[in-house]
Amino acid sequence: MLRYTLHRLLGAIPTLLLVIVLAFLMVHAAPGGPFDAERALPPEVAANIEAAYHLDEPLAKQLGRYVSGLLRGDLGPSFRYRDYTVAELIGTGFPLSLKIGLLAILLALMVGISSGTVAALRQGSMLDRIVMSFAMTGISIPVFVVAPVLVLLLAVKLQWLPAGWSGAPGAAKYILPVITLALPQIAYIARLTRASMIDVLGRDFIRTARAQGLGTKTIIRVHALKPAMLPVLSYMGPAIAAILTGSVVVEEVFGIPGLGQFFVRGALNRDYTLVLGIVIFYATLIIALNLIVDILYGVIDPRVRNE
């Protein structure tokens, strides 16, 4: 297991390197620069600023400088948030994004797994069809549509929940963003759970459990849930990635001061180091989470442990 983990960690290095180089080139290829404003700066001033941030150097040299900074754990200074380093900005925004993301994942797992299981047990029934149509809808509608519609309905019309973030009291402000983020994941997890539960319930060992008189509840809990969760577990990697990218939109819509908002601002402002820093941070996070998922896979399925 340890060897496997080390192996996977080493394998992540080229992936990460590729992400860094591609992201670096793409950010720099975008038209405009961090210090372009509506009113052009005097050429001497612009030249001074560019020299201070090494933007006047050849691209390859800048990339080398950036990577060597990364190796020292330094994501560099933000170009637009003066006096802040990128690391500090991530430290400011990420805790809130993490909190909302985790809540969304938990909600998605709870609702998705239970509704998927119920649908599988009553395969072909009205209930099954209702759950599955909801799931299909949830998958089809993008976050940037769901978010404003929910705000319009629940916050503006019915006034049950706050529409924005700042000034809203307590826990209520979390509800809409978390639901918006979780909805497509609920839908996907419900469908996955249903399909894999149906598959597992058709296996011979479930027939054995029935022959032992264990009853549906025990069969699901003891025999079926664990194997049926394997596909859901594999999906956790992509799901977390989807929630992270989804949070960019959701934070913008609800005005949440999380990492997603920094990301959007960074991109609009051509804040090279900030955008790069967040991309690398997210990429590392996603690679690490996928590794954890793979390790958990071995915990659930004893047969893959010694491979």
Partner 1 sequence: MSLLEVNDLTVRYGDSAVVDSVSFVVNRGESVGIVGESGSGKSQTALSILGLLPGNATVTGSIRFDGQELADKTDQQLDAIRAMSIGIVFQDPMQALNPYLRVGQQLRQILLQHELANGAEADEKVKKMLGRVGLPDPERQFHAFPHELSGGMRQRVMIASAIICEPDLLIADEPTTALDVTVQAQILDLLEELRDDTALLLITHDLGIVAGRCERLLVFDGGRLVESGATTSIFSSPENAHTEKLLAAALRTDRGEIRAAANGKTVLGVDNASVSYRDKSKERLVAVTDVSLSLREAETLAIVGESGSGKSSLVRGLLGLIPMRAGRVVYAGESLEGPVQFRSAAQRRDLQLIFQDPASALNPQMRVQTIVGEPLLVHEAAMSADARKESVASILNKVGLDESYLRRFPHQLSGGQAQRVAIARALILEPRILICDEAVAALDGSVREQVLELLNDVQRDTGLSIIFISHDLAVVRSVSHRVAVMYLGQLVEVAETASLFSRPRHPYTRALIDASPIPDPRVAPASAPLKGEVPSLLTPPTGCVFHPRCVFAQEDCSKKQPGLRRFGGSRVSCHRADELEL
Binding residues for partner 1, per CB under 8 A?
203-205, 207-216, 218, 222-223, 226-227, 300-303, 306-307
Shortest Cβ 244–partner 1 spacing (Å): 31
Q: Which is nearer to partner 1, 68 or 208 (CB)?
A: 208
- Nearest CA-CA partner of 197 in 285, 255, 148, 132: 132
Q: Indicate the residue among 141 and 230 with the shorter CB distance to partner 1.
A: 230
User: Which residues lie across from 85 on neighbouring strands?
Assistant: 77
DSSP 302: G
CB contact set of 45 (below 8 Å; sequence gap of 6+): none
Q: Quick check: helix, strand or coil at residue 191?
A: helix
Residue 152 Cβ vs partner 1, minimum distance, rounded to whole Å: 44
Cβ-based nearer residue to partner 1, 42 or 124? 124
Shortest Cβ distance from residue 293 to partner 1 (Å)? Answer: 17
State how far the Cα of 116 lies from the Cα of 45, in Å rounded to an integer.
61
Nearest to partner 1 of 54, 226 (CB atom)? 226
First to last CA, the chain: 9
Q: To the nearest whole angstrom, how small is the minimum distance from the Cβ of residue 206 to partner 1?
A: 8
- Comparing CB distances to partner 1, the nearer of 194 and 270 is 194
Query: Which CA distances in Å does 125 have to 119, 129, 131, 268?
Result: 8, 6, 10, 49
Q: How far is the CB of 193 from partner 1 (least distance, A)?
A: 16
